[in-house]
C-alpha cells in the first residue's frame, strides 16, 4: 500500500510541475506579445488641446510640421523636434545660437510666409504660427481651410493676447510638448527658463524705485512703442517700469511731447529690419525733442533683438540683457 501511495505522490508532483511550466511559458509569451504589440501610452493616448478657445484633438503626434515664425521655430527646436519638421519660414534676425545646428537640419521653404501650394507640396500635417497674420488669407490660409486639407494648426497663444506673461509662454511650450508627446522635454525647458529668470531676479535691487523705461521700436515723427505686449512683462520682470504700460494696446504710437514729459531714464531699442539699432540710437541722440530725456542725456540705451523680445525661449535671456542694462552695478 505504501508503495502505491508513493507512486501516486510522484505522479502528482510531475503533473503539477508540467502545469506550472506551461503556465509560466504562457505568461512569458503573453508578456512578450504585450511588449511587442503595445506601443507607449503617450503614442496611443488621444491629446486634447485648447488653442485660443478652440478645442483641438490629436490622435497622434504630427510628423511633418512647419513653423511659420522665428520665435515658434525656436520653441520647436528647443524641444528637439527638428526631425518632426519638414519646413520653417520667416526669420526676424539670426537664429538663436544654441539652436543653429538643429535649425540647419530643417528646410527653409520661404523667406516670409509660404504659399498654400508650398504647404500642400510639403505634405505638412501641422502648422505652427507665432502671429495671427500666419493664419490669414495673406498668410497660408485660415485654420478652417487648412483643417479641410487634413492639416492641424496651432496659433501661439501668448502672442495673441493682451498682457502676456512668462506663464503664458510656459503654457504654449507645454501645449506643443504635449501635442508632440515630449512632455518631459517641455517641463525641462520650462524649469530651465524659470531658474534663469529667478537667478536674474535675485540680483535686482530691493526696495528701490523702478527705473522709467521707454521701448523704442521705430518712428521719427512719432514714437512707436510697447504698451501691454510682452515687452511690458520683460521690462517689469527686469526691474523697470514701462512708461506707456497703462495704454490698452499691444504696440502703440505716442507723441514725442508725451514721451519727453514722461522722461524715460533708459531706452530699450528693438533691433530688427533695415534700420540698425545704432542708426536708431543716432536718431534719438539728435532729435530736438527726444534728446532732452534723461535716457539720452546719460546715453542709457539697451539693445534687444526683436526675436528676443518675442514670446519664445529667449525670454530668460531677454530679461538678463535688460536687467544688466538697467542695473549694471548689480551684475
The three three-digit cell numbers of residue 238, written as one number: 527686469
The H or E element that residue 303 is part of is strand 301-305
DSSP state of 29: H
Over range 167-177, report the average pLDDT.
Answer: 98
* Domain over 47-198 is classified CATH 3.40.50.1980: yes
- Tell the residue number behind the cell numbers 536674474, with chain if given: 200
310 vs 31 pLDDT, higher one: 310
- Greater confidence (250 vs 20) lies with 250
Which grid cell is 69?
Answer: 515664425
Higher pLDDT, 38 or 272: 272
Residue spans of alpha helices (H) in 166-213: 166-179, 183-201
105 or 306, higher pLDDT: 105
The C-alpha atoms of residue 63 and residue 282 are separated, in whole angstroms, by 47
Between CA 286 and CA 198 the distance in angstroms is: 38
What kind of fold does domain 205-330 have according to CATH?
Rossmann fold (3.40.50)
Asked whether residue 38 carries a pLDDT value surpassing 50, the answer given is no
For the chain, the average pLDDT equals: 89
Which residues in 290-314 are b (16+ Cβ under 10 Å) and which e?
Answer: beebebbeeebbbbbbebbbbbbbb
Domains 47-198 and 205-330 share a fold: yes
Q: What's the grid cell of residue 21?
A: 511550466
- Kind plus residue range of the DSSP H or E element containing 161: none
**What gap in Å lies between CA 269 and CA 279, rounded to an integer?**
10
Cell of 248: 490698452
Query: Are 193 and 320 contacting, i.e. CB atoms less than 8 angstroms apart?
Result: no
d(CA 79, CA 90): 19
| The predicted structure's pLDDT at residue 30 | 37
Determine if the pTM surpasses 0.75.
yes
The residue ranking higher by pLDDT, 223 or 17, is 223
**Tell me, what's the pLDDT at 232?**
98
Domain extents in the chain: 47-198, 205-330
Question: What is the DSSP code (8-state) at residue 209?
Answer: P
* Window from 13-17, 183-187, 246-250, 299-303 with minimum mean pLDDT: 13-17
As a whole number, mean pLDDT of residues 109-116 equals 95
pLDDT band for position 19 (cuts 50, 70, 90) = very low
The model's pLDDT over 115-167, given as tens digits with 9 standing for 90+, comes to 999 999 999 999 999 999 999 888 899 999 999 999 999 999 999 999 999 99
**What pLDDT does residue 273 have?**
87
DSSP secondary structure of 94-154: SPPGGGHHHHTTS-EEESSSPPHHHHHHTT-SEEEESSGGGGSTTTT--HHHHHHTT-EEE
For the purposes of burial, counting CB atoms within 10 Å of the CB of 31, is it exposed (0-12), middle (13-18) or buried (19 or more)? exposed
Q: What was the pLDDT predicted at 43?
A: 61
Query: Can you tell me the distance from the alpha carbon of 73 to that of 277, in angstroms, rounded to the nearest whole number?
Result: 24
- Of 245, 208, 211, residue with least CA distance to 230: 245
Residues 6+ apart with CB under 8 A from 274: none
CB atoms within 10 A of CB 321: 21
More confident residue, 138 or 171: 171
What does residue 248 show for φ and ψ, rounded to 5 degrees? -80, 80
Q: What whole-number distance in Å separates Cα of residue 313 and Cα of residue 201?
A: 18
Rounded Cα–Cα distance for residues 222 and 225 (Å): 10
Pairing of strands 223-226, 211-218: antiparallel
**How are beta strands 152-155 and 211-218 bridged, if at all?**
unpaired
DSSP state of 210: P
Amino acid at each position: 500500500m505504501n508503495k502505491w501511495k508513493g507512486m501516486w505522490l510522484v505522479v502528482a508532483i510531475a503533473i503539477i510541475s508540467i502545469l506550472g511550466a506551461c503556465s509560466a511559458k504562457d505568461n512569458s509569451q503573453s508578456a512578450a506579445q504585450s511588449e511587442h504589440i503595445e506601443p507607449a501610452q503617450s503614442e496611443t493616448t488621444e491629446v486634447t488641446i485648447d488653442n485660443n478657445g478652440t478645442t483641438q484633438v490629436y490622435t497622434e503626434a504630427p510628423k511633418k510640421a512647419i513653423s511659420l515664425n522665428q520665435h515658434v521655430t525656436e520653441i520647436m527646436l528647443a524641444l528637439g523636434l527638428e526631425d518632426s519638421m519638414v519646413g520653417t519660414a520667416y526669420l526676424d534676425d539670426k537664429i538663436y545660437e544654441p539652436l543653429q545646428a538643429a535649425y540647419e537640419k530643417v528646410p527653409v521653404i520661404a523667406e516670409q510666409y509660404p504659399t498654400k501650394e508650398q504647404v500642400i507640396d510639403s505634405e505638412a500635417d501641422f502648422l505652427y504660427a507665432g502671429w495671427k497674420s500666419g493664419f490669414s488669407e495673406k498668410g497660408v490660409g485660415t485654420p478652417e481651410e487648412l483643417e479641410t486639407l487634413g492639416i492641424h494648426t496651432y496659433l501661439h497663444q501668448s502672442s495673441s493676447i493682451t498682457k502676456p506673461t512668462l506663464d503664458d509662454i510656459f503654457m504654449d511650450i507645454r501645449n506643443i510638448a504635449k501635442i508632440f508627446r515630449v512632455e518631459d522635454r517641455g517641463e525641462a525647458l520650462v524649469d530651465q527658463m524659470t531658474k534663469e529668470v529667478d537667478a536674474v531676479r535675485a540680483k535686482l535691487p530691493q526696495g528701490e524705485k523702478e527705473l522709467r523705461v521707454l521701448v523704442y521700436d521705430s518712428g521719427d515723427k512719432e514714437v512707436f512703442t510697447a504698451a501691454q505686449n510682452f515687452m511690458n512683462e520683460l521690462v517689469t520682470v527686469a526691474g523697470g517700469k514701462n512708461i506707456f504700460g497703462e495704454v490698452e494696446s499691444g504696440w502703440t504710437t505716442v507723441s514725442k511731447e508725451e514721451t519727453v514729459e514722461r522722461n524715460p531714464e533708459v531706452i530699450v531699442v528693438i533691433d530688427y529690419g533695415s534700420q540698425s539699432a545704432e542708426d536708431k540710437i543716432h536718431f534719438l541722440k539728435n532729435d530736438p525733442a527726444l534728446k532732452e530725456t534723461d535716457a539720452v542725456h546719460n546715453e542709457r540705451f539697451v539693445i534687444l533683438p526683436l526675436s528676443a523680445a518675442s514670446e519664445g525661449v529667449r525670454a530668460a535671456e531677454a530679461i538678463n540683457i535688460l536687467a544688466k542694462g538697467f542695473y549694471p552695478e548689480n551684475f
